[in-house]
Amino acid sequence: MPDTAIIENNTAKQKPNRVKEALSILFSSKTAMVGLIIVMFWVIVAVFAPYMTKYTPTEQDWKAPNHGPCAEHVLGTDELGRDLWARLIYGARVVLVVLPVTEHFMLPGGTAIWGVLVSLFIGAVLGLIGGYKGGWIDEIVMRLLDAMMAIPVILLYLIIVAAIGASAVNVVIAIAIVGVPGIARLVRSLTLDIKTREYIRAAETRGESAWVIMFVEILPNTRGPIIIDAMLRVGYAIFAMGTLGFLGLGMPPPSPDWGSMVAKGRAFILTGSPWAALWPAIAIASLVVGLNLLADGIREESMRYQ
C-alpha cells in the first residue's frame, strides 16, 4: 500500500510538469506563437460573433448591394446587401465553434474539428489493431486503406458529398472518411515501433489483454505526433470545406460558408466589387496558415527535447 501511494503521488506531480513542459515548448517557438495568435483571433471572433456585429449573416441591406468597406459595413456587403463581416465571423463559428446538426440542435466544436476528431478515432483504432496484431488483419486493413488513398483527395470528397448530400453533418462524414487512411498509417507506424519496447513486453508478461496494451500502453505514447498531425488536418479540413463550398457542395445556402462566398463573389470582381470574394479567401488562407505554423512550430521545438 505505501508503494502504491508513492506511485500515485509521483503521477500527480508529473501532470503539472507535463503541462508546464508543453507550454514552454509552445512559448519558446516564435513560429508557433504567430500561428497561435492567428488561430486564437478566429476562435475569439467565432465565439463572440453575436456580440461583434449588429447584423445577422442573412440580414439584407437592399440599399447597399456590393458596397465597399464603410462605417456602416466594416468589410462591405455582398450582392444581396449582406454584411461581409457578419458572414465571415459566423462562418468561422461553423468551422471552429459549433456544428449545426439540425435547425435547433448544435454540438460544441466546429465542422472541421468534428471531422478530424471522428477520423482520429477511427484511424487510431484501425492503426492500433493493424500495427499490434499484424498478420492477415494488418494486411486487410492496410490494403483497404491503400485503395482509398489511391483515389485523389478532392475526387473522394466530391464522390462522398455528392452521394450523401450537402450539409454540415455530411461534410463532417466526408472529412472523417478522407482523413482515416493517413491517420491509420501514422498510428500503425508508431505502434510497430512502440510494441517492441520493454514496457510492452512487461505488460504482455503480466497477462494484460491486447485491448489494454493498445489503448493504455501504446496509444498514450503516440499522442505527440498525433496531436501535431491533427492540427495540420484541421487546416486541410478547412481548406477542403472551402473547396466544397466553392463547388456548391458545402454548407447549404444561406449558410455563411466561406467557400460559397468566394464562388458567388468572384462574379463581381471585374465589376469593381472584389470584397465579397477577397475577405473569405483571406479568412481561409489565414486560418490554414495559422494552424500550419502552430503545428510546425510545436514539432520543431519538440524535436529539440528528444
The model's pLDDT over 267-298, given as tens digits with 9 standing for 90+, comes to 888 888 899 999 999 999 999 999 999 888 88
Predicted pLDDT at 12: 46
CB 219 within 8 A of CB 195: no
pLDDT at position 97 over 50: yes
Nearest-10 crossing angle of helices 2-27, 30-47? 90
Predicted pLDDT at 65: 87
The residue behind cell 466594416 is 74
CB 296 within 8 A of CB 111: no
- Those residues with Cβ within 8 angstroms of residue 177's Cβ, 6 or more apart along the chain or in another chain: 119, 148, 156, 160
Predicted pLDDT at 38: 94
- Those residues with Cβ within 8 angstroms of residue 82's Cβ, 6 or more apart along the chain or in another chain: 55, 57, 58, 59, 60, 61
For residues 255 and 250, give the distance between their C-alpha atoms in angstroms, rounded to a whole number.
9
pLDDT tens column, 8-67: 444 444 555 656 666 676 677 788 899 999 999 999 999 999 999 999 998 888 888 888
Predicted pLDDT at 256: 87
CB 191 within 8 A of CB 217: no
Query: Which residues is 273 bridged to in the sheet?
Result: none
CB 171 within 8 A of CB 101: no
For residues 206 and 41, give the distance between their C-alpha atoms in angstroms, rounded to a whole number.
49
Which of 179-183, 228-232, 251-255, 285-289 has the lowest average pLDDT? 251-255
CB 76 within 8 A of CB 70: yes
Query: Which of 152-156, 209-213, 222-226, 278-282 ranks highest by mean pLDDT?
Result: 278-282
The residue behind cell 460544441 is 108
| Domain chopping of the chain, boundaries | 2-304
pLDDT at position 4 over 70: no
pLDDT at position 89 over 50: yes
pLDDT tens column, 139-189: 998 999 998 888 888 888 888 888 888 788 888 999 999 999 999 999 999
Burial class (CB in 10 A: 0-12, 13-18, 19+), 59: middle
pLDDT at position 306 over 60: no
Helix and strand numbers, DSSP H then E, in the chain: 12, 2
Predicted pLDDT at 283: 94
Predicted pLDDT at 1: 43
pLDDT at position 207 over 80: yes
CB 265 within 8 A of CB 277: yes
Question: What's the chain's length in residues?
Answer: 306
- 102, 111, 241, 245, 285 from 174: Cα distances, Å: 18, 11, 10, 13, 21
Question: 3-state secondary structure string, 65-114?
Answer: CCCCCCCCCCCCECCCCEEHHHHHHHHHHHHHCEEECCCCCEEECCHHHH
Q: Please, what's the b/e burial string for 233-248 (b: 16 or more CB within 10 A of its CB; e: otherwise)? A: bbbbbbbbbbbbbbbe
For residues 160 and 154, give the distance between their C-alpha atoms in angstroms, rounded to a whole number.
10
- Those residues with Cβ within 8 angstroms of residue 160's Cβ, 6 or more apart along the chain or in another chain: 170, 173, 174, 177, 178
Average pLDDT value over all residues in the chain: 85
**CATH classification for the domain delimited by 2-304, as one of 3.20.20.70, 1.10.460.10, 1.10.3720.10, 3.40.50.300:** 1.10.3720.10
Burial class (CB in 10 A: 0-12, 13-18, 19+), 187: buried
pLDDT at position 246 over 50: yes
pLDDT at position 103 over 80: no
State which H helix or E strand residue 51 sits in.
Answer: none
State which H helix or E strand residue 152 sits in.
Answer: none
